[in-house]
Amino acid sequence: MNRRKVLQTLVTTAVAGSSGAALAQQATGGIASERQMNPVKPRRLKKGDTIGLISPASNTQQNEDIRFASEIIESLGFSVRTGQYLFERNQYLAGTDQQRADDVNRMFADKDVDGIFCLRGGYGTPRILPYLDYDVIANNPKVLLGYSDITALHTAIHVKTGQVGFHGPIAGQTYTDYTLQEFEKVVREPRDTAIIGHAPPFEAGPGKVERENRVTYFVGGKARGRLIGGNLSLLATLIGTPYEPDFRDKILFLEDVSEAPYSIDRMLTQLWLAGRLQQVAGLAFGKFTDVPSVSGNSYSVEEVLRQRCEPLGVPFISGLMIGHVSDQTVVPIGINAELDADAGTLRLLEHAVS
């Protein structure tokens, strides 16, 4: 029996008795029911569908950037329905908390809207979580696409409804050939046992080897489990809240941007001190981009990941095409997957859409 199973047995024994159920729920962040919930898969998107465009976090600086995002969606073969408050701006937020939540709720409730794309990330999604109508969302499952700050929205909806979320490109970015291919095979034309997040094609030759998109191998082996995760900053924010996911036996994927090694260290340490890292079946890190330089001595990001995660003893790699990169995959939250840390691959074991 491995160490994680031993700990789970001890917790179960300790909470036995009349108050055991309540204590067990507290021990897992208050989301004991999520572990038993089958993922709710939205309908796959097809050309001609209507996409709702919203901004649940920050807004762009210029309205023209919003029109650009609409044209990106149209270029994919969809029509666009803009949120009522899409053009609102409130300091670093795209309107008030209630306005941003209302746009989310309306898009899920609108029977003529087939999927929902987020304009951008930024900051603010955790602020709207108490204002979402999870009953409406549960009764109208739809593809919700976005990443970075949108992690909080994906995670909360999955915890409350079981619905699969799609950690992938925002509407306000250009799709590379790689990004389009990843989007197609996960959201529009799902493939059996699709490998996601692998490096894009690179033409190697004498004196010419891939440098940017490399996988770093830490702990080998294979792990299977449902995918949870997204942006590290946002996941750390949700710890101890009603929107925290169940980490037990999951494959955890993480990425971030503009965070110094000590900041990444602090957030991973928080997950470790909370006992969450010790519960996962495997770790698949994406990219940590635009890492600021720090004065004086500093660990590298690689060393931080090694120190915090190697002692867990679970399959563990980093460098997948997840996060703030132009060549970006789509990771479906809640779907069963296999992490092969020897081959450096993340494989979906089921379709993410119906």
Collect all residues with Cβ–Cβ distance below 8 Å to 335 and sequence separation of at least 6.
Answer: 39, 164, 226, 227, 348, 349, 350, 351, 352
Write out the H or E segment, with its range, that includes residue 101: helix 97-109
Kindly state the DSSP code that residue 278 receives in the 8-state scheme. G
3-state SS, residue 158: helix
Alpha helices in 200-258 (DSSP H): 232-238
C-alpha span between 225 and 330 (Å, rounded): 17
Kindly state the DSSP code that residue 310 receives in the 8-state scheme. G
Q: What is the DSSP string of 43-59?
A: PPP-TT-EEEEE-SS--
59 closest CA partner among 24, 35, 99, 90: 90
Which residues are part of the catalytic machinery? 148, 255, 324
Burial class (CB in 10 A: 0-12, 13-18, 19+), 292: exposed
CB 325 within 8 A of CB 287: yes
C-alpha span between 168 and 250 (Å, rounded): 19
